[in-house]
Amino acid sequence: MDEGRATLVWGARDAKPEPAAWRVDTSDTRSAALWANLNQAINYAIGMMPDREPQGLHPWIRTPSGHIYSPAAIQVMSDAMERRR
């Protein structure tokens, strides 16, 4: 998995977030946030899914190298991390 800061945003399950959604700004009302690494972003996203999904919000994660992970990919990676524990 990519090392370095990961950006987590919440949005629609089937629509990749627009480029502006990935900007993290303290004055911004969007829920974009930076995490120290991909694993931390995944763990937080999985933990928050029960609270966010009823609002129609699903996690999307972008790595410093530009990879964008969909909600389904995040779930698969979380399951794989759990099996390794």
pLDDT of residue 29: 54
pLDDT of residue 55: 94
Q: In DSSP terms, which residues pair with 9 in a beta bridge?
A: 60
pLDDT of residue 3: 66
Rounded-to-integer distance, Cα 10 and Cα 47, Å: 13
- pLDDT per residue as tens, the chain (85 positions): 446 899 999 999 999 999 888 887 765 555 688 999 999 999 999 999 999 999 999 999 999 999 999 999 999 999 998 887 6
Q: Is residue 49 part of a domain?
A: yes
Q: Is residue 76 part of a domain?
A: yes
Domain containing 27 equals 6-84
Q: Is residue 1 part of a domain?
A: no
For residue 71, CA distances in Å to 8, 11, 14, 26 come to 11, 9, 9, 24
CA 71, 50, 85, 9 torsion-angle sign: positive
Q: Number of structural domains, the chain?
A: 1
pLDDT of residue 7: 95
| Cα radius of gyration (the chain) | 12
The token pair at 37 is: 């690494």
